[in-house]
Amino acid sequence: MAPGLLNGIYKKEDIRFHIKSMVEKKGGRFILDSLDYIDPVSKTIFLINKNPIDYDVLSFNTGSIIKDISVDNTSNIFKVKPISNIVSLRRKIIELSEPRNITVSVIGGGPAGVEISANIRALQKSYCKNDIAINLFCGSGILSGFDEKFRSAAKKHMVDKRIIIIPGFAESIENNTVVTKERSFVSDIVVLSSGVEPPRMFKKSGLPTGPDGGLMVNKYLQSAGYPEIFGGGDCIYFKESPLSKIGVHAVKQNKIILNNLSMFIENQELSPFAPGGDYLQILNLGDHMGLLKKKGFIYSGKPAFWLKNAIDRKFMNKYG
């Protein structure tokens, strides 16, 4: 829902859970801090600021981080995570475009980069006095990994919205200039949506990891080396069949983790996670437009966004 926050469809409170309240209402203890590493032998969690915590059973649900790119002497650069960055990005775009035309460069041609680019255009149309040139840097092509029909439909939307698709990888950002092998692009604002990767704490902790550095788990979402450790979402590497980093997997894994934590404590049989087949994918392309994909069916238009909005709001209302 974050791209919708960018163009004003949603407010901050629409797309965030009050985690502290949710935890405490269920009798849990909420600790605001960042994890440094764990010692899986002594079963100890080491935090950045607070005292270490011992555990009997542990579940990692820490999400992902944006992949790094070399940045030097550059201002107005925003990563798409955490969500608070989107609020700052929106504010900065409106501010800089008040007196003049500006250029925004979006690094990454995956779903996040496509949605952010499209919603910057929607923001410009509704809230900005001057024009915005939008560059979308797509290293291996727009929506690499998706089928050609879906990619073509997304590319048409980008062209229609005057978003300049630039092939090739952004190798560095220097002095507000995005540098590729072929040329350089001066920008007023740079948005990093250059793919995600698991946090680096797993390797630091000496836990078994996959090629991407994610916590390696078996079909029970259980650590390959330490059975009392579980994990789900973007931070894991599913040994059975590597998964794309999309929210639907995290949601489905949620119930399995909850069940298996209880079953492990009670020394009972664990339940396996089954990723399932093809899933519904809907991109928010701004202006209340969506691009929908389900198996071989592709559809673009406002009803696609209405469906996405209904699904997202239902999920938020369920847990909010």
DSSP symbol at 238 = E
Q: Residue 68 has what pLDDT?
A: 80
Side-chain-side CA neighbours of 102 within 13 Å: the count stands at 23
68-196: CATH number: 3.50.50.60
pLDDT band for 295, please (50, 70, 90 cuts). confident
The string of pLDDT tens digits covering residues 222-272 is 998 999 999 999 999 999 888 887 788 988 999 999 999 999 999 999 999
| Contact predicate 142/136, CB 8 Å | yes
Record the pTM: 0.91
How confident is the prediction for the chain on average, in pLDDT? 93
- At residue 225's C-alpha, the angle toward residues 28 and 231, to 5°, is 35
**Domain range summary for the chain, segments of one domain joined by +:** 31-64+198-265, 68-196
- The count of other CB atoms within 10 Å of the CB of residue 80 is 24
Superfamily of domain 31-64+198-265: FAD/NAD(P)-binding domain (3.50.50.60)
- Which run of H or E residues covers position 179? strand 177-179
pLDDT band for 73, please (50, 70, 90 cuts). confident
Listed range (42-46, 97-101, 156-160, 178-182) with the worst mean pLDDT: 178-182
Q: Residue 139 has what pLDDT?
A: 85
- Which run of H or E residues covers position 206? none
pLDDT band for 67, please (50, 70, 90 cuts). confident
Q: Residue 87 has what pLDDT?
A: 94
